[in-house]
Chain A
């Protein structure tokens, strides 16, 4: 039985060993420093980038795009999923479209988004939403199926109208499954925003990463990759924390 502090210690050790091996590989000449800078150098650049107003501004732009896209897509996706999952006729008519479109790679639509929304903030948000909405809707449809029919009967027997059924029974009962979908949706959302930034943009961490890559600034490029990873992990952890709170009753 491992205590949790012991486990964290072991995990930190594993990370340190891996970074050490990486460092050793670079200094022993096993890896080419031109394409793979050592972690120590990347760390120095991460610190430097975090002190750079320009980088912070671009990180902020990316975060704002991702955040706004999420604030729009989460309620909209859940609402559409609830309607498609719960309403028999609407569901049967429209569900197939979502299932089919979910399988199409969203990146091929990027030029359409550029032509429609330009290359600025709005286009990134729109593309983030577009990337995330399918997984959210589909998980919300699955969440509707997880709602206990008894609870629906209970609420109906107490005279709940359709709106009360949705808000008082379906939404809270769907939450544990929906929050999983939100985490997936968030990953798609970040991928969409950063990808769109890398393709064509004036700002954003994706835009910076693409620029560093094209100008062979490897330490900055890797530092940017790490920063993007930290951002995604932070977002995911926040959602997991919320999930544990919501999930408390599902024992």
Chain B
């Protein structure tokens, strides 16, 4: 990963300590019953290298917020500042997205899928093939480079998605419930894998999930949102030591944090 920096070197960030900053962002929809405030005046910042989770009941606007941070959805009001500049559209060198399941191009092989973002940027075929092979190895899929998605299990497909997200080497990675469609066991394994890769590359991560356990296990901070209007209830720091393991989940601190988030969400409904 570190080898990919040359052509996409980043301008030094000035005094800005946030990689990503969401400022007074609202997303309103006109409906026959009036204005729906999917996201309502949400502000938060994400410091460099931090793993931040977004949780909340369905309809709290966490996925919409993520789309806006990816530059795929225009905010009705407010700004999203990435590395000091307001976002006006997708900025793949800075922000990468890992989507929910079935986001792989089904007609391309695992390797071609990982190469896809690089191919769009015109990276040389041999170079991107090498990078994809390395990334697939990192997510434990060596030997599966030439398989098509229909020949892979759900967990393997999501590993390819993760490899694709990391392969283009953005500073910020947004993940939209990447493990939602997986079974519990695969979800746990992939969570550990994700942490392992992240420890190695220290991307700034925003991770949307509806699993509180997953949020507490993975994140440095968890932002808890309420639905209609989609607002931030509280930002909770997860001060559990890293590296976290399966045993971490059995500790009293872990239970206490998850419990606190649960009460916040339930109380808002």
Contact = CB atoms under 8 A, between A and B. Distances in A.
Interface in A105-159: 148, 150-151, 153-159
A160 B92 CA distance: 9
Interface in B78-137: 90-93, 95-97, 99-100, 102-103, 105-107, 116-117, 120-121
A117 B100 CA distance: 55
A169 B103 CA distance: 12
A159 B116 contact: no
A168 interface: yes
Contacts of B91: 159
B90 A148 contact: no
A55 to B, nearest CB: 42
Contact of B149 (A150, A153, A156, A249): A249
Contacts of B102: 148, 150
Interface residues of A, number: 21
Contacts of A175: 107
A8 B97 CA distance: 51
B195 to A, nearest CB: 23
B72 A153 contact: yes
Contacts of B235: none
A159 B148 CA distance: 23
Nearest to B97: A157
B60 interface: no
A244 B24 CA distance: 52
B97 A249 contact: no
Contacts of A251: 150
A249 B70 contact: no
Contacts of B121: 159
Interface of B is mostly: loop
Interface in B148-206: 148-150, 168
Contacts of B106: 249-250
B71 interface: yes
Interface string A150-188: 110111111110001000110011010000000000000
A250 B149 CA distance: 10
A148, A155, A157, most chain B CB atoms within 10 A: A157
Contacts of A159: 90-93, 117, 120-121
Contacts of A158: 90, 92, 96, 116-117, 120, 168
Contacts of A153: 67, 72, 97, 99, 103
A151 B105 contact: yes
Nearest to A172: B107
A164 B92 CA distance: 15
B179 to A, nearest CB: 16
Contacts of A148: 102
A154 B90 contact: no
Contact of B103 (A151, A164, A168): A151
A157 B176 CA distance: 13
A141 B26 CA distance: 35
Nearest to A248: B148
Interface in A229-248: 248
Nearest to A148: B102
Given A151-B103, A249-B107, A156 B72 contact: yes
Nearest to A169: B105
B144 to A, nearest CB: 15
B138 to A, nearest CB: 19
A150 B150 contact: no
B72 A157 contact: yes
B82 to A, nearest CB: 13
B97 A164 contact: no
Nearest to A249: B106
24 contacts: A150-B100, A150-B103, A151-B103, A153-B97, A153-B99, A153-B103, A154-B99, A154-B103, A154-B105, A155-B116, A156-B90, A157-B70, A157-B90, A157-B97, A158-B92, A158-B96, A159-B90, A159-B117, A159-B120, A172-B107, A175-B107, A249-B107, A249-B148, A249-B150
Closest 6 CB pairs of A and B: A159-B92, A158-B117, A249-B106, A157-B97, A251-B150, A249-B107
Given A157-B97, A158-B92, A169-B105, 20 more contacts: A150-B103, A153-B72, A153-B97, A153-B103, A154-B105, A156-B90, A157-B71, A157-B72, A158-B96, A158-B117, A159-B91, A159-B92, A160-B120, A168-B120, A172-B107, A173-B105, A249-B106, A249-B107, A250-B106, A251-B150
Interface of A: 148, 150-151, 153-160, 164, 168-169, 172-173, 175, 248-251
